[in-house]
């Protein structure tokens, strides 16, 4: 984790001027964020100081950023309480373009990244259940992108192992964990809705031991809710880097306070926890191994595949 963009005080001031926010007094690079550079910016206007979050995208284009902003706008309008809406610039846009940079500015929320423990999993599960409880009719008039346009769903995972550029270890892990393939899951009509797409515990903020906001809806879109649940559990219900069955139970306990799982979702849950790891593994492959986001993380996808293998053995 870390920031990849270095901005001068003058450059930040130029960006703030797009929003007419005031005079920048201090810039603090933040350590969280993989595909973004994040900065806490202290601004003074009319003798009052106020912090903002400045996000610079490191690997998204403007269309992808606009897709995220549209989802955040929908969540604000339907009254979802755990997302943060970006500020609007003078031209009423939420995305800014400055030199070679594109990004957005948000109100700064004070909070801490929690540890992956029982209460954390319960509250994150409850928050995800609340997001998944949003009825399609509440956002049917909005043009929300499909998750598969920016994330990796089951058909893509299944087809990827046949590609020439598929890393051999990815294929080996997949065939070991799913020797019969995943066609039966692909063909199952699981309920769809708004997915977060990357709700690991480090994409949340807590204050006084209570979850106050969900961060980074960059992978959000319409898709199968059970996959989103699997992704979130696979990166949240962890003990010493491995998936903990007791923490999974707490996560599901919280989730079902807001949205009870269907019978088919319950019976498929463990498979989707595993597939959540393969989905995020592909995200890392395309960003780090095939892309140029961070060469030091080229093989970081293997960490997730090993986690999947350990969880599969625990289930046997």
Q: Is the pLDDT of residue 142 over 80?
A: yes
Whether 189 is covered by a domain: the verdict is yes
Domain match, 156 and 292 both: yes
How many structural domains is the chain composed of? 2
- Residue 66 maps to which CATH number? 3.30.200.20
Whether 1 is covered by a domain: the verdict is no
Domain match, 144 and 175 both: yes
Domain match, 102 and 214 both: no
Whether 41 is covered by a domain: the verdict is yes
Among 92, 88, 100, 29, CA closest to 62: 100
Domain match, 211 and 123 both: yes
Domain match, 57 and 153 both: no
Q: What is the pTM of this model?
A: 0.94
In angstroms, the CA 244 to CA 120 distance is 13
Whether 3 is covered by a domain: the verdict is no
Per-residue pLDDT tens digits for 123-141: 999 999 999 999 989 898 8
What pLDDT does residue 4 have? 52
Per-residue pLDDT tens digits for 19-63: 999 999 999 998 766 678 899 999 999 999 999 999 999 888 889
What pLDDT does residue 7 have? 87
| 273 touches 230 (CB < 8 A) | yes
Mean pLDDT of the chain: 94
Domain match, 127 and 227 both: yes
Domain match, 175 and 224 both: yes
What pLDDT does residue 28 have? 93
Domain stop point among 68, 84, 107: 107
Q: Where are the extended beta strands (E) located within the chain?
A: 23-29, 36-45, 48-57, 96-98, 101-107, 192-195, 204-207, 210-214, 221-224, 238-239, 242-243
Among 150, 167, 50, 59, CA closest to 107: 50
- SS3 category, 192: strand
| 56 touches 33 (CB < 8 A) | no
Domain match, 89 and 167 both: no
Cβ-based burial of 135 (10 A; exposed 0-12, middle 13-18, buried ≥19): exposed
- Residue 167 maps to which CATH number? 3.90.1200.10
Residue 234 makes CB contacts below 8 A (sequence gap 6+) with 243, 273, 274, 276, 277, 280, 304, 307, 308
Handedness of CA 205, 206, 207, 210 (dihedral sign): positive
Residue 58's domain comprises 9-107
Domain match, 162 and 252 both: yes
Domain stop point among 107, 141, 169: 107
Mean pLDDT of 65-92: 92
Residue 271 makes CB contacts below 8 A (sequence gap 6+) with 178, 182, 185, 230
Domain stop point among 107, 132, 159: 107
Domain match, 94 and 141 both: no
């Amino acid at each position: 984790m870390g920031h990849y963009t270095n901005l001068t005080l003058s450059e930040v001031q130029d960006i703030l001027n797009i929003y007419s926010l005031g005079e920048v007094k201090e810039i603090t690079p933040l350590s969280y964020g993989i595909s973004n550079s994040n900065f806490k910016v202290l601004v003074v206007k009319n003798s009052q100081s106020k912090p903002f979050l400045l996000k610079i995208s490191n690997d998204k284009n403007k269309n992808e950023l606009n897709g995220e902003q549209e989802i955040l706008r929908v969540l604000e309008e339907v009254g979802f309480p755990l997302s943060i809406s970006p500020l609007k610039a003078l031209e009423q846009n939420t995305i800014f373009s400055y030199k070679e940079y594109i990004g957005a500015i948000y109100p700064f929320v004070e909070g801490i990244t929690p540890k992956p423990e029982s209460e954390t999993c319960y509250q994150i599960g409850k928050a995800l259940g609340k997001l998944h409880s949003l009825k399609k009719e509440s956002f049917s008039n909005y043009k929300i992108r499909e998750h598969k346009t920016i994330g990796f769903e089951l058909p893509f995972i299944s087809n990827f192992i046949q590609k020439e550029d598929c890393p051999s270890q990815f294929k080996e892990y997949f065939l070991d964990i799913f020797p019969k393939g995943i066609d039966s899951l692909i063909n199952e009509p699981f309920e769809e809705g708004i997915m977060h797409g990357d709700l690991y515990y480090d994409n949340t903020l807590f204050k006084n031991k209570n979850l106050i906001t969900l961060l980074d809806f960059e992978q959000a879109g319409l898709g199968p809710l059970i996959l989103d649940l699997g992704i979130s559990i696979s990166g949240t219900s962890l003990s010493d880097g491995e998936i903990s069955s007791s923490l999974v139970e707490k996560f599901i306990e919280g989730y079902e306070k807001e949205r009870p799982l269907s019978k088919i979702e319950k019976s498929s849950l463990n498979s989707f926890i595993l597939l959540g790891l393969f989905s995020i593994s592909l995200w890392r492959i395309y960003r780090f191994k095939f892309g140029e986001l961070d060469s030091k993380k080229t093989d970081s996808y293997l960490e997730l595949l090993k986690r999947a293998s350990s969880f599969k053995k625990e289930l046997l």
